[in-house]
Amino acid sequence: MIKLVNVSKEHQRNLLLNNINLEIERGKVYGFKGRNGSGKTMLLRAILGLIKVDGQVIINNKPLKFGAKYPLKVGVFIEKPSIITEFTALKNLKLVAALKGITDINVMTKYLVELGLDYKDKRKVRKYSLGMKQKVGIAQTLMGEPELIVLDEPTNALDRKSIEKLVQILERLKQQGCTILIASHQFEDIESVVDEVVHIEAGALE
């Protein structure tokens, strides 16, 4: 499905990614494990074609070109939720739904409801707690069950019950054939759903 060949990234003489070789198979969950600043997020950005790299990112046997349309149906949550805080949760979901061609309100709100939020809440998202904002971002990402799901530190600000619910959802999506990439420095939170562990330190795989 996805193959990285000799992928490196340098910025101001700092080697952020160092000769990464990695194969990602369809329908598996990959856990990217490493300390803060180890290169997990940069590697996810490389896989998504969001940064220009040396080496090759190959998707379904075709090289991914920087700036080109991504060839997979993808849901992405990197670093923090992509939400407009002056909008309600539902309006934020509708924005993403429009991009994904989704019109069914139940499909739009499915994961928000599963994560314990009320999509009819009229409050603006700026009044939400950090954990609630996190759930809105996760719900946007999972909407429509994309082929590839990329989650960067998804358990930040979530309580134990919400983390357990998220893991259950990810397990179900895996059974449906979704490929899931999760980066976390609190690896024990998501370890039970992970099939393959990718250890990264100082921009290199260990």
pLDDT bracket for residue 185 (50, 70, 90): confident
What global pTM score does this model have? 0.96
User: Do residues 187 and 181 touch, judged by C-beta distance below 8 A?
Assistant: no
Residue 79's pLDDT band, with cuts at 50, 70 and 90, is confident
Please state the rounded mean pLDDT for residues 156-168. Answer: 97
* Helical ranges in 57-176 per DSSP H: 89-100, 105-114, 130-142, 160-175
Q: Which CATH architecture has domain 27-37+72-205?
A: 3-Layer(aba) Sandwich (3.40)
How far is residue 193 from each of residues 37, 97, 135, 165, measured CA to CA in Å? 24, 27, 19, 12
pLDDT confidence of residue 18 = 98
Mean pLDDT for 115-131 is 98
Lowest mean pLDDT among 45-49, 65-69, 90-94, 190-194: 65-69
Domain ranges of the chain: 27-37+72-205
Q: Is the dihedral of CA 84, 140, 16, 11 positive or negative?
A: negative
